[in-house]
């Protein structure tokens, strides 16, 4: 009897160890970059391959402008289609005429948080006002970010209704 119980116990331990860890969860992750700028990423499922993927993001940023005292503070809502493999996105860039975001994300094993890095590039007009004379090039330093799962509800709609939303193919909604 003792051998049967030990064998059963070993089988249960083996099954638990073989069960894959949760990569992340579908839902909304919010947090900040190191400079305190707000970030939101929504995780959904890629309809083409079944992987988890980033489906949208709300990215706030603060980017000092080169050779100028001005700091550009802005925010964008983005449609994304970035797959998450082994809890990671790898380095990816989201680009447009108005910005480039270079991002990495890695989700915790329990699926409740993520960490990574972000660098932002964006132009702005100078002086800001009715008759600007030139454009400035603004760049945030590479900085860490941290996110926490807030909701498992579908909140893509909230991000898409932001004032500056661009879909994954550059279309506005």
39, β-bridge pairs: 31, 59
Give the CATH number for residue 32: 2.40.128
pLDDT tens-digit series, residues 110-147: 999 999 999 999 999 999 899 999 999 999 999 999 99
Q: Are 172 and 76 in contact (CB under 8 A)?
A: no
Domain for residue 95, yes or no?
yes
Has residue 99 been placed in a domain? yes
Return the higher-pLDDT residue of 161 and 120.
120
In a domain, 148, yes or no: yes
pLDDT in tens, 84-105: 999 999 999 999 999 999 999 9
For residue 1, pLDDT over 60 is answered with: no
Residues with Cβ within 8 Å of residue 7, at least 6 apart in sequence: none
Q: Is residue 173 part of a domain?
A: no
> Looking at the domain assignment, is residue 123 inside a domain?
yes
Its domain, for residue 43, covers: 22-166
Domain count, the chain: 1
80 found inside a domain: yes
pLDDT at 167: 55
pLDDT at 25: 87
Report yes or no on 16 lying in a domain.
no
d(CA 23, CA 52): 8
pLDDT at res. 13: 40
Q: Is residue 57 part of a domain?
A: yes
Interval 56-89: pLDDT, tens: 999 999 999 999 999 999 999 999 999 999 999 9
């Amino acid at each position: 009897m003792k051998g049967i119980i030990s064998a059963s116990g070993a089988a249960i331990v083996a099954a638990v160890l073989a069960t894959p860890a949760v990569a992340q969860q579908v839902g909304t992750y919010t947090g900040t970059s190191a400079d305190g700028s707000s970030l939101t990423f929504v995780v959904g499922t890629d309809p083409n391959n079944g992987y988890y993927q980033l489906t949208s993001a709300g990215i706030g940023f603060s980017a000092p402008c080169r050779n100028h005292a001005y700091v550009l503070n802005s925010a964008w809502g983005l449609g994304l289609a970035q797959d998450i493999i082994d809890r990671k996105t790898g380095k990816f860039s989201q680009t447009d005429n108005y910005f480039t975001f270079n991002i990495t994300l890695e989700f915790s094993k329990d699926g409740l948080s993520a960490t990574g890095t972000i660098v932002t590039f964006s132009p702005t007009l100078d002086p800001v006002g009715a008759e600007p004379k030139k454009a400035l090039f603004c760049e945030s330093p590479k900085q860490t970010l941290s996110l926490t799962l807030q909701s498992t509800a579908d909140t893509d709609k909230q991000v898409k209704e932001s004032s500056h939303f661009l879909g994954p193919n550059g279309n506005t909604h």
